[in-house]
Amino acid sequence: MKIQHSTPAWERRHLAGELTGLLMPDRPAGCRRSQGSVLIIVLWVCIGLVSIALYFANQMTYELRAADNRVSGVMADQAIEGAARYIGLALQNYATNGATPDNTQFKCEAVAVGDSKFWLIGRDPNEGNSTEPYFGLVDEGAKLNLNNVSTNVFQYLPNVTSDFADAIMDWRGTNGVVSLDYTSLGFAPKYAPFETVDELRLVYGATVDMLAGEDLNRNGVLDANEKDVNSSGELDAGLFDYVTVYTREPNFHADGTTMTNINSTTLNISQLRSLFQNAGTSSATDMANKFYRYIHPNQQNPSQGVININGELDLALQLNKIGMSSDDFAKIANNLTTKTNTYFRNRVNVNTARYEVLVAMLMGANIDQSSAESAVQSLISYRQQNPNNLGSIAWVIDALGNQSPTLKTMATKDWWTTHSYQFAADIAAVGPFGRGYRRVKFIFDVSDGSPKILYRQDLSRLGWALGEKARENLVAKNTQ
């Protein structure tokens, strides 16, 4: 039998401690500190790398958004180009013979072009006090032409002083008519016709308040960020809304043929009878005979003592005197003229002209302010109540009465017409998701039969001009 010797516990622990000391000797304290520093450095490096990764990831997010905005901007630009083509087609179809297109004949609001949309920022023909923009074309023919209107008309427009009216005449004249110190502005006056409406900024005495009024973004409404200077609660527009440089009305038919000149000494009664009969007027032969005798009182020598007709309104008034109705006059109006001019450049479309423009014209014709305002209010009320009776200028006689002193005064002028051949298309567009806002204003001319772009101006710098409703609709659509 083998006898086992037991080893006390304390001895076993002692032997284990010696063995451990042999296999794993104690490390110096400095070595342990070094390893801790390495661990901290590694942790900081990891944190730095993670931070850099997050930084570049964030930058790439911004770059992605910027790229998306650039793409949206390009798409908005293309939407505007498409809109310009669309407007050209609409004018080709609906603006024939000087007619003013109605905004119900084509789309003007949130028109889709792919994933983009465009709007036509117009002016409310009823001149209401809306807080949201009106969408449609703007009739340039409803404005005063800077190059043809006289000083006494300009000075009656809102915010325009007689001094500034004189300065306009001086700028466009061939020589100085008033003494103005342009040297302090660093340039000389032009002494030539205006080429754009924005050229008014250069005229001596021009201010933003005078030119833009309260409508800083030029969208026709008083926006929340625009100041109501006189606390009227209504938008007070500036001179930009009342003037143009583009108007011209052709004195010939769309196919290039001439009109019948009532004041021509070679006009004979047969021509007049034929014209009235072909137009389908009531009692055509009798009416033609009456009118011929009226304008040629010397029947023995018709070329002598001819009564001169001043213009379109005067012609309508003279025919009204011998019993021609407004409906019959509308049938012949587009075939008659009283001048030999190739174009008329000083006429304003009485069908679409604003209250302030019409008042200024009447007062410029030496009609007192009270009578002018009353007459213009009658005209605007008639326009609103009889939108289908504005085919010829004879409606002015129906609105004012053929005995109206104001009517008789204006009949001596050739300032009014019912035709327009130039239109402004103020196009604003956004790309997908309402991004990439762009705005460009075009001036179209159809006086030669086919639409042509005379002028384009980028107005994107003026900021958002579509109102809050359009913004809310875009946000709502993009969050559905």
The answer as to whether 387 is a domain residue is yes
The secondary structure of residue 107, as a DSSP letter, is -
Q: For residue 30, what pLDDT is reported?
A: 59
The string of pLDDT tens digits covering residues 135-147 is: 999 999 999 999 9
CA 67 to chain centre: 30
In a domain, 279, yes or no: yes
Identify the bridge partners of residue 422 per DSSP, sorted by sequence position. 445
Q: Look at residue 241 and tell me whether its pLDDT is greater than 70.
A: yes
- Token pair recorded at residue 399: 């609105």
**Separation in Å, CA 375 to CA 148, 352, 369, 400:** 24, 15, 10, 7
CB 465 within 8 A of CB 438: no
| Residue 478, token pair as written in the block | 């993009």
For residues 288 and 358, membership in a common domain is answered with no
Q: Please tell me whether residues 318 and 261 are part of one structural domain.
A: yes
Does the pLDDT value for residue 438 go beyond 90? yes
Instruction: Tell me which of 27-31, 47-51, 170-174, 334-338 is least confident.
Output: 27-31
Residues 296, 381, single domain; the answer is no
Domain that holds residue 272: 251-344
Is the pLDDT assigned to residue 18 strictly greater than 60?
A: no
Helix (H) or strand (E) holding 116: strand 116-120
| Residue 4 located in a structural domain | no
**CA–CA distance, 217 with 336 (Å, rounded to integer):** 42
Q: What is the pLDDT of residue 130?
A: 78
Mean pLDDT score of the chain, rounded to an integer? 88
Is residue 390 exposed (0-12), middle (13-18) or buried (19+ Cβ within 10 Å)? buried
Q: Which pLDDT value is given to residue 297?
A: 75
- Report the first-to-last Cα separation within the chain, whole angstroms: 95
The single residue listed with the structure tokens 């980028």 is 458
Q: Does any domain span residue 129?
A: no
The residue-averaged pLDDT of 45-69 equals 82
State the pLDDT confidence band at 402, using cuts at 50, 70 and 90.
very high
pLDDT range class, residue 255, cuts 50, 70, 90: confident
DSSP per position, 276-319: HHHHT-TTHHHHHHHHHHHH---TTSTTSSPPPP-SHHHHHHHH
| Beta-carbon contacts of residue 251 (< 8 Å; ≥ 6 apart) | 259, 337, 339, 340, 341, 342, 343, 344
Name the band, by pLDDT with cuts 50, 70 and 90, for residue 232.
confident
Identify whether residues 292 and 325 lie together within a single domain: yes
In terms of domains, do 367 and 411 share one? Answer: yes
Whether residue 382 sits in one domain with residue 332:
no
Domain boundary among 309, 344, 379: 344
Give yes or no: residues 322 and 368 share one domain: no
In the listed set 344, 372, 401, which residue is the last one of a domain according to the structure? 344
- How many distinct structural domains can be found in the chain? 2
Q: Which residue has the higher pLDDT, 473 or 409?
A: 409
301 and 266 in a single domain? The answer is yes
The tokens of 208 are what? Answer: 């933003």
- Say which amino acid occupies 388: N
Model pTM score: 0.85
Q: Given this model, what pLDDT does residue 43 score?
A: 86
At 1 the pLDDT is 43
For the record, the structure tokens of 64 come out as: 């992605």
Domain boundary residue, one of 300, 320, 344: 344
Beta bridge partners of 418: none
Residue 480 clears pLDDT 60, i.e. is over it: no
Both 339 and 412 in a single domain?
Answer: no
Closest by CA to 329, choosing from 286, 393, 274, is 393
| 164 belongs to a structural domain | no
Q: What DSSP string runs through 415-448?
A: -EES---EEEEEEEEE-GGG-S-EEEEEEEE-TT
Among 207-211, 230-234, 391-395, 436-440, which stretch is predicted with the lowest mean pLDDT?
230-234
344, pLDDT greater than 90: yes
Q: Is the pLDDT of residue 230 over 90?
A: no
pLDDT tens, position by position, 134-189: 999 999 999 999 999 888 899 999 889 889 999 999 999 876 667 788 888 898 88
Of the candidate ranges 28-37, 172-181, 217-226, 241-250, the one whose mean pLDDT is the lowest: 28-37
Residue 463 covered by a domain:
no
Q: What's the pLDDT band for 125 if we cut at 50, 70, 90? A: confident
CB atoms within 10 A of CB 249: 20
Residue 257 belongs to a domain: yes
Please give the Cα distance from 414 to 312 (Å, whole number).
Answer: 7
Residue 60 CA neighbour count, 13 Å, CB half: 6
Percent of the chain clearing pLDDT 70 (strictly above): 89
Residue 313 belongs to a domain: yes
Rounded to 5 degrees, what angle do the CA atoms 321, 323, 325 make?
A: 110
Q: Which of the residue ranges 67-71, 245-249, 379-383, 465-469 would you say has the lowest mean pLDDT?
A: 67-71
Residues 327 and 364 in one domain: no
The angle at the Cα of 209, spanning 130 to 127, to the nearest 5 degrees, equals: 25
Per-residue pLDDT at 28:
59
- Clarify whether residues 276 and 359 are in a common domain: no
Clarify whether residues 289 and 316 are in a common domain.
Answer: yes
Is the confidence at residue 301, as pLDDT, over 80? no
